[in-house]
Amino acid sequence: MTVNLSSSNKQIDTILVLDFGSQYTQLIARRVRESNVYSEILPWDIDEGKIKLINPKGIILSGGPDSVTNSYTPRVPQIVFDLNIPILGICYGMQTLAEQLGGQVISSDQKEFGYSELQVTADCVLFSDLGKTLNVWMSHGDQVQDLPDNFDLVAATATAPIAAMQHTTKPIYALQFHPEVTHTEDGKTVLDNFIFKVCGSKKDWKMDDLIGQRIKEIKDQVQNNKVLLGLSGGVDSSVTAALLNKAIGNKLVCVFVDNGLLRKGEAEEVMNTFKENMNLNVIKSDSEEVFLRHLKGVEDPEQKRKIIGRTFIDVFDAEATKLKDVHFLAQGTIYPDVIESSGSESKEARVIKSHHNVGGLP
């Protein structure tokens, strides 16, 4: 059991994902939620009190870019083992799990990136009702060479002799491949077997529960004050606008910055959708000239993102100063943005590129 949905006082089962910096971490949580089980992501070094507060049914250790053969790389906090609940390590999560429990991890000369054929060599609940051969997605340089004590080999690939392992008496499992990506054959089933057959989770969560919870939280926090939102017409800000509108109605003030970089007719479409059809309070800032002037002669994509981000903040701030009695600033995001920009809480994820909207922020 874990999360309290405040709108209904309903206690729900939660699978906790500890993030070691993998760009796939958010996919793990998404796969769990697709099975109607709530999942929450926390950085690997989160305070143990927060883990206890969540009281998860099971913990998944994500992959990550580091090597356990180096000093000062992330490790599984002791509280994870002390809780005596099911654990699933994925990629780096498997490697640090093995190393911390007494196994040996080496940097392999044969790195695996892409598809590999997995041979299941022993009975394991994770592979229940699946064949003995699976096409899986690998992305690793290190590998487990020697199993920790009280662990059995479960599966192998041509270049990873230990590609899956399980504890002989405790519900601790580890996979070198990534079951969370769609490239892995039956990866969703592997995760479901852990979620339901190992952890005993109930299908007691759905997105509607989260929406109701967030609306109540917004109402409780905002009360009768105004909220300012930067509205672009994209998925993240549009959903945020709709959610805030449900919660606080006309106390929401949106600023739409037309930067001149949108598709033909898109600015008019945004205004028509949100101002005319949804009756939101939307202020339009015609700033095409400002953006294009700052971008003139710039070719590097990353530099363009930085310029767009800085210019957006300047324009948005100028519009905000014209408003009165605004107490809150709202911003929405989506998992792909979190992935590409390394996440908000995790210190380990490698940046793919700066965020296209706020890349200019310090």
As a whole number of angstroms, the distance between CA 194 and CA 86 comes to: 8
Q: Tell me: pLDDT of 9 over 90.
A: no
Find the helix or strand (DSSP H, E) in which 220 lies: helix 207-222
pLDDT at 63: 92
* pLDDT-based confidence at residue 342 (cuts at 50, 70, 90): very low
pLDDT at 4: 41
pLDDT at 71: 80
Q: Tell me: pLDDT of 253 over 70.
A: yes
* pLDDT-based confidence at residue 5 (cuts at 50, 70, 90): very low
User: Annotated catalytic, 327?
Assistant: no
What would the pLDDT profile of 81-92 be if each residue is shown by its tens digit?
999 999 999 999
As a whole number of angstroms, the distance between CA 177 and CA 118 comes to: 9
pLDDT at 200: 97
What would the pLDDT profile of 226-246 be if each residue is shown by its tens digit?
999 999 998 889 999 999 999
User: Annotated catalytic, 199?
Assistant: no
As a whole number of angstroms, the distance between CA 42 and CA 225 comes to: 31
Question: Is pLDDT larger for residue 28 or for residue 108?
Answer: 28
**For residues 9-38, average pLDDT:** 90
Least confidently predicted of 95-104, 129-138, 259-268, 351-360: 351-360
CA distances from 177 to 85, 293, 323 (A): 22, 48, 52
User: Annotated catalytic, 180?
Assistant: yes
Structure letter (DSSP) for residue 251: G
* pLDDT-based confidence at residue 59 (cuts at 50, 70, 90): very high
pLDDT at 165: 97
- Alpha helices, DSSP H, located in 68-206: 78-82, 92-100, 187-192
* pLDDT-based confidence at residue 60 (cuts at 50, 70, 90): very high
* pLDDT-based confidence at residue 337 (cuts at 50, 70, 90): low
Share of the chain above pLDDT 90, in %: 70
pLDDT at 351: 53
What would the pLDDT profile of 123-146 be if each residue is shown by its tens digit?
999 999 898 999 998 886 788 889
φ, ψ of residue 339 in degrees (nearest 5): -65, -50
As a whole number of angstroms, the distance between CA 254 and CA 191 comes to: 40
Residues in the chain: 362
**For residues 194-215, average pLDDT:** 91
Question: Is pLDDT larger for residue 62 or for residue 349?
Answer: 62
Residue ranges and CATH numbers for the domains of the chain are: 4-198 (3.40.50.880), 207-340 (3.40.50.620)
**For residues 291-297, average pLDDT:** 96
Q: Which of 99, 112, 180, 348 is catalytic?
A: 180
pLDDT at 338: 52
Mean pLDDT of the chain: 88
As a whole number of angstroms, the distance between CA 140 and CA 24 comes to: 13
* pLDDT-based confidence at residue 275 (cuts at 50, 70, 90): very high
* pLDDT-based confidence at residue 10 (cuts at 50, 70, 90): low
CA distances from 45 to 51, 138, 249 (A): 10, 25, 39
Q: Which of 99, 124, 140, 178 is catalytic?
A: 178
- 186: Cβ contacts below 8 Å, ≥ 6 apart: 130, 134
pTM of the predicted model as reported, rounded to 2 decimal places:
0.74
